[in-house]
Amino acid sequence: MPVALKFLAAGRVSPFGGRRWPEPFGDAPGHWVRPAGGEVYACRVIDLPWWLEAELWEVELEDPVATLECQLLAPAGRLMRRIQAWDEAAVLEYGAACALRARDFAVNVLREEGRTTEAETLAEPGELDGVARLARSLGADAVRRRGANLAAYVAESAARAAQGAGAAAANIAANAAVVARRHPAAFGVEREWQARWIARRTGLAQN
């Protein structure tokens, strides 16, 4: 049967339905979960940024498995093992990586606009709170300039990353990519980068 991935809230709880999934015991998987509606959702590596939660699990799915836009659908599933490398520290690192990537977008656009001093100041290493404060000041004229608009995205992404809200920081960063590249497809491209980051951090094969 296919093996996929699934994010769950702390304690193996489904973030939407509130179901607590049975825990694996030793090398044995957990008991099968068979919802009355016959709908168990999981995902591939490339889908992970859409479903971020505290715990990441390898899950076995029962056939037939349908591939949806950004998730998998099966009639039943059971937990195989927890991906231990995805922990609180990983969530913080992920949010920071996404926010700083958004900062790079803003720095590049500021340079294109001839705002070199502001670009170099924003590019300087610093704590996320400091990045958020500086970017917020640069975003004051967001209505008039694309670079300032991007800085506003950076401010929000960095602030959320500093709070440990990695999912929000990543979503904002993906929207910043759209502004930076001037194309809606940039959102999906950025989500792919985020998925690769999670795969590298957790040692998952990039399927």
Structural domain includes residue 135: yes
Residue 134's pLDDT is what? 87
Report the run of H or E that residue 80 belongs to, with start and end: strand 77-82
pLDDT tens digits, residue range 69-98?
999 999 999 999 999 999 999 999 999 999
Determine the structural domain holding residue 187 and report its residue range: 89-202
Statement to judge: residues 167 and 96 lie in one domain: yes
Angle between helices 146-162 and 88-112 (to 10 degrees): 170
| CB within 8 Å of 27: residues ≥ 6 apart | none
| pTM score | 0.92
12 contacts 6 by C-beta, under 8 angstroms = no
Structural domain includes residue 207: no
Domain boundary among 84, 105, 140: 84
Statement to judge: residues 58 and 76 lie in one domain: yes
Residue 152 CA, chain-centre distance (Å), reads 19
pLDDT tens digits, residue range 86-136?
999 999 999 999 999 999 999 999 999 999 999 999 998 889 998 999 898
pLDDT: is 26 or 184 the higher one? 184
* 3-class SS of residue 66: strand
Residue 10 CA, chain-centre distance (Å), reads 17
